[in-house]
Amino acid sequence: MGTESVELYERYAELNRRVIKPSVKEINDKSDIHLTFLPIKMGRKIVGVQFKVVENPKNDQLKIP
């Protein structure tokens, strides 16, 4: 994701709070898709993130006819 050189994002909690959640919220508010994300764990450690994409019925007006 291009965050390897940024020490702040070495912890998942910071990456989640500063990058993932705001981005998902903006996409859900302003587009015709709806994202949800699920952390992928190996034991207690989060090793990845899985995104689920579906149509966003709330923003039907954004669809191109």
pLDDT digits (tens), the chain, 65 positions: 555 666 667 788 888 998 899 999 999 988 888 999 999 999 999 888 999 999 887 766 655 55
| Cα–Cα dist 49/16, whole Å | 10
Token pair recorded at residue 9: 């994002």
| Cα–Cα dist 33/5, whole Å | 30
Burial of residue 32 (CB within 10 Å: 0-12, 13-18, 19+) is middle
Residue 1 inside a domain? The answer is no
- Domain at 55, CATH number: 1.10.10.10
CA-based nearest residue to 38, from 46, 53, 54, 49: 49
pTM for the model stands at 0.72
The range of the structural domain enclosing residue 13 comes to: 7-62
